[in-house]
Structure 1
Amino acid sequence: MLAELDQVKKQYKDFTLDCSMKIQEDCVTGLIGANGAGKSTTFKMLLGLVRPDSGEIRIFGKNRKDLSENDRREIGTVLSDSFFSGYLTVAQLMSFMGDFYPGFQKKEFEKQCGRFQLPVDKKIKEFSTGMKAKLKILFAISVNARFLILDEPTAGLDVMSRETILDLLREYMEVPGRGVLISSHISSDLEQFCDEIYMIDRGKIVMQEETDRILGNYGVLKLDDRSFASLDKKYLLRIRKEAFGYSCLTDQRQFYQENYPDLTVERGTVDQVLTMMTKGEAL
């Protein structure tokens, strides 16, 4: 187990986080939810930037507060709301990173900077949003960490750049014992990259599921009032009243396709499941 949040709670004036999660080795775990759902707070608690009011956070089998300096160096990070000083050049940052992280792979990092056309002698404040996003990712994967915590790492990147970044992260995961916790508003990135997904809504985890099962078994039924009234509802997870009738989330799409061939049953996507889990109602 790389990391675990066990009944971790944090109370703010108008928001409460109450979260339990497990991040396994050799696994890419996605955390998704709307803005303000609690993703960034969860990430910051894992990093020790926010202290929980109760519960326990364990990383590498240790309580978060007992991590050694070497343990902390085993964590690579990208946070959506933080970055290096814009007055530094990439070359200067490489020097600092080498001092802080003995495992920093300088030659590989320089190679990737060339690949992504990131000038090492240019001040970061002159970089575009996309260039800054690439730079943060490259630093995170170049410290030879066991555990990556990535908050919106592909924000600001075009489709081709995002795919290249995901390929780099896949290469990172080829080393046994590593793991990634990632959030993104781009659901297609999570669908093709994550092994499992947690959904968070208003500070609470509302769902945990393997990505393959979401894409393979989940579906959304579209029904008028009459069809809904006669439907076998035992496999419905959420329902939502619509202008045309009802949308219904199920994790047994095949059951409804086989037993109700005239119904419209859409294949589940991460976006659809998140919408239904957060905006739909339980039976």
Structure 2
Amino acid sequence: MLLELENVQKAYSQFSLSCSLKVEEGCVTGLIGQNGAGKSTVFKSILDLVYPDSGKISVLGKDHRDITVKDKEEIGVVLAGSGFSGYLTVRQIIPVLRSLYRNFDEKEFTERCKKFRLPTDQKIKEFSTGMRAKLNLLAAVCHGARLLLLDEPTAGLDVVARDSMLGILREFMETEGRGILISSHISSDLESLCDDLYMIDNGKIVLHEETDVLLDSYGLLKVSETDYRKLDKRYLLRVKKEPFGYSCLTNEKKYYLENYPEAAIEKGSVDEVITMMTKGEAI
């Protein structure tokens, strides 16, 4: 197990975190939720940037408080809003990375910077948002890391830049024994990249599902009030009142397709699950 959080609790005056999740070797795990749901607090707890009140965090098979400097070299991190000083150039940060990581692959890093058209002698503050994001990610993957912790790495990027970054992550996962925990607001990124998804809402994990299962088995029923009263509700997760009647989230789409052929049933998506799990009512 590369990463495990067991009942991690952190209380603030107007917010509290209660989280359990796992990242296994060979898996890309997504953490989804609205702004303020607690995603960044999870990452900061893992990295000891905030100190949980209780619970257990294991990183690379060790208690996170026992992680050594050598162990940290096996972790690559990209946090929202963080990065290198804008007054440095790529050429100037190479010695910094070389001194931080014994396994820093300068050749690979330089070649990838060239591939993604990152100028080595231009100040980073002059880079576009996409260029800075690519630089941060390349720095995280070019030192032999086994675990990547990526908090909103594609935020603010256009489609082309996001696709380039997802390509980097797919290449990273081609080596056995690696894993990624990634948060993102872009559902298409998660649907195409992640093996499983955790959804966090108001500091609590409200859903954990394999991505393939979510896309295949989850669905959104749209029924009138009359049909809703007749509906078998055993397999409904959330219900939301609509002008036409009700929207109903289910994880047994096949059951309703077979038993209610007249009902309008849409294929589930990450966006719809987020909306229904946060705004819908439990049955």
Structure 2 residue aligned with 1:282: 282
Structure 1 residue aligned with 2:238: 238
Q: CA deviation at 1:157?
A: 2.1
Q: CA deviation at 1:208?
A: 0.3
> Identity of aligned pairs, percent?
59
Moved more, 153-162 or 170-179: 153-162
Distance 2:81 2:128 in 1: 16
Query: 1:32-47 to 2 correspondence within 5 Å?
Result: 32-47=32-47
Q: CA deviation at 1:114?
A: 1.1
Q: What amino acid maps onto 1:96 in structure 2?
A: V
Structure 2 residue aligned with 1:154: 154
Q: What amino acid maps onto 2:205 in structure 1?
A: I
Distance 2:7 2:233 in 1: 32
Moved more, 12-21 or 151-160: 151-160
Moved more, 264-273 or 125-134: 125-134
Give the match's secondary structure for 2:139: helix
Q: What amino acid maps onto 1:203 in structure 2?
A: G
1:209 and 2:209 matched = yes
Question: What are the superposed Cα offsets for residues 30-54 of structure 1, whole Å, 9 maximum, x if unpaired?
Answer: 0000000000010011111111111
Structure 2 residue aligned with 1:137: 137
Distance 2:7 2:139 in 1: 32
Q: CA deviation at 1:107?
A: 0.9
Distance 1:14 1:280 in 2: 22
Distance 2:93 2:85 in 1: 9
Structure 2 residue aligned with 1:164: 164
Q: What amino acid maps onto 2:218 in structure 1?
A: Y
**TM-score normalised to structure 1 length:** 0.98
Q: Where do 4+ consecutive residues of structure 1 move more than 4 Å?
A: none
Q: CA deviation at 1:156?
A: 2.5
Distance 1:67 1:90 in 2: 29
Distance 1:150 1:192 in 2: 16
Give the match's secondary structure for 1:87: coil
Distance 1:69 1:125 in 2: 29
Q: What amino acid maps onto 1:39 in structure 2?
A: K
Moved more, 87-96 or 207-216: 87-96
Give the match's secondary structure for 2:213: helix
**TM-score normalised to structure 2 length:** 0.98
Distance 2:219 2:125 in 1: 45
Q: Point out where structure 1 has 5 or more consecutive residues left out of the alignment.
A: none
Q: CA deviation at 1:263?
A: 0.7
Q: What amino acid maps onto 2:144 in structure 1?
A: N
Distance 2:33 2:59 in 1: 23
Distance 2:14 2:155 in 1: 27
Structure 1 residue aligned with 2:114: 114
Query: 1:159-198 to 2 correspondence within 5 Å?
Result: 159-198=159-198
Question: What are the superposed Cα offsets for residues 113-158 of structure 1, whole Å, 9 maximum, x if unpaired?
Answer: 1111111111111111111111111111112100000011112222
Distance 1:35 1:143 in 2: 31
Question: What are the superposed Cα offsets for residues 170-216 of structure 1, whole Å, 9 maximum, x if unpaired?
Answer: 11101111000001110000000000000000000000000000000
Q: What amino acid maps onto 2:165 in structure 1?
A: I
- RMSD of the alignment, in Å? 0.8
Structure 1 residue aligned with 2:221: 221
Q: Point out where structure 2 has 5 or more consecutive residues left out of the alignment.
A: none
Contact (CA 8 Å) 1:133, 1:156: kept in 2 or not? no
Distance 1:111 1:100 in 2: 20
Contact (CA 8 Å) 1:148, 1:179: kept in 2 or not? yes
Q: What amino acid maps onto 1:105 in structure 2?
A: D
Aligned length: 283
Contact (CA 8 Å) 1:237, 1:251: kept in 2 or not? yes
1:78 and 2:51 matched = no
Distance 2:270 2:214 in 1: 7
